[in-house]
Amino acid sequence: MAASASCLSLVVLVALATVASAQLSPTFYDTSCPRALATIKSGVMAAVSSDTRMGASLLRLHFHDCFVQGCDASVLLSGMEQNALPNNGSLRGFEVIDSIKTQIEAICSQTVSCADILTVAARDSVVALGGPSWTVPLGRRDSLDANVPEANSDLPGPTSSRTDLEDAFRKKNLTTVDMVALSGAHTIGQAQCGTFKDRIYNETNIDTTFATSLRPNCPRSNGDNNLANLDTTTANTFDNVYYTNLMSQKGLLHSDQVLFNNDTTDNTVRNFASNPAAFSSAFTTAMIKMGNIAPKTGTQGQIRLSCSRVNS
């Protein structure tokens, strides 16, 4: 009796788990808003051509959305998660998503979620900077709330150890290989001096010339908001040079260099550094997994009219 009851509840659980992701589909808007994907793509291309860094910023925005109560656009709600410690003064791209949303509302009213727009914009950003493409499952709905404490607890920080990073990603059902592949996003974009100051003055697993070159724009005191490229070799190209940098002890963040520090993830870094196709394949697989974290579907949440606030 007990055995069959728990067997039945296992079947129900598995069925429920399948339903959630089975409701995401790449063709979700094909009849309800056939121009949605093209509109997002042209919005992203325009934003990246006037500000190259925007490609990086949109990719990071998607990551910071998905790691906090799933990919539900909670990060876009004004004055909430945006002010959490890992985000305040560093997330960018809200106005790009708002503007794409306005264009999409004009062609298909209250049909396309902000969570889907951000997920597709992240893919289009990678493509705009020369990276791989992939098919994005769609049908996410937008949250009714945000979660500031979860943003503070679940987003990994630049001083994280390798095991901290592994734990933070495992909590989202992402593997260590997924984590190493997704960290390859640091092949584009910039970081503020305050996030790598300790590394360039105090750490020993850093190339000396590299550390010296960063110090003038990141002095021991002050300058915390000054920017440096995360990939100092090919800053604006989505490629696998991030991993080559790590092998030369030229990771900008502490949390980058821990992936190649004479430890268990070294071989994955070597593989991605020497084999661009292996990196592209692992990155796209992991992006799809990250994009599928805890989606709201069916009647959960809502389709926001404006991405920065819930519908009144």
- Give the catalytic positions in this structure: 64
Among positions 52, 78, 90, 248, the unique one binding ligand HEM when judged by CB under 6 A: 90
User: Considering beta carbons, is residue 262 or 299 the nearer one to ligand NAG?
Assistant: 262
CB atoms closer than 10 angstroms to residue 193:
19
CB atoms closer than 10 angstroms to residue 208:
9
Residue 212 touching ligand NAG (CB under 6 A): no
Residue 222 touching ligand NAG (CB under 6 A): no
Among positions 139, 156, 295, 301, the unique one binding ligand HEM when judged by CB under 6 A: 156
In the chain, the amino acid numbered 175 is T
User: Considering beta carbons, is residue 127 or 230 the nearer one to ligand HEM?
Assistant: 230
Q: What is the DSSP string of 95-159?
A: HHHHHHHHHHHHHSTTTS-HHHHHHHHHHHHHHHTT----PPPB---B-S---HHHHHHHS--TT
Task: Work out how close the CB of 218 gets to ligand NAG at its nearest, in angstroms, rounded to a whole number.
Answer: 9
CA distances, 120 to each of 12, 184, 217, 230, 302 (Å) = 31, 18, 35, 23, 18
Task: Work out how close the CB of 58 gets to ligand NAG at its nearest, in angstroms, rounded to a whole number.
Answer: 21
DSSP conformational letter for 72: S
Q: Which stretch binds ligand NAG (CB under 6 A): 107-115, 156-164, 198-206, 282-290?
A: 198-206
Residue 202 touching ligand NAG (CB under 6 A): yes
Angle among Cα 55, 172, 259 to the nearest 5 degrees reads 65
Residue 151 touching ligand HEM (CB under 6 A): no
The annotation status of 198 as a binding-site residue, yes or no, is no
Task: Work out how close the CB of 126 gets to ligand HEM at its nearest, in angstroms, rounded to a whole number.
Answer: 9
Q: What is the DSSP string of 214-255?
A: HSTTS-SSS-TT-EEESSSSSTTS-SSHHHHHHHTT--SSHH
Alpha carbons 12 and 141: distance in angstroms, whole number:
23
User: Considering beta carbons, is residue 12 or 17 the nearer one to ligand NAG?
Assistant: 17
Residue 56 touching ligand HEM (CB under 6 A): yes
SS3 304: coil
Among positions 26, 34, 79, 89, the unique one binding ligand NAG when judged by CB under 6 A: 89
x/- track of binding to ligand HEM for residues 236-265 (CB under 6 A):
-----------------x-x----------
Alpha carbons 232 and 252: distance in angstroms, whole number:
8
User: Considering beta carbons, is residue 245 or 280 the nearer one to ligand NAG?
Assistant: 245
Q: Which residues are annotated as a binding site?
A: 65, 68, 70, 72, 74, 81, 156, 186-187, 231, 234, 239
Give the binding site for ligand HEM (CB under 6 A): 53, 56-57, 59-60, 63, 90, 92, 156-158, 160, 165, 179, 182-183, 185-186, 188-192, 195, 230, 253, 255
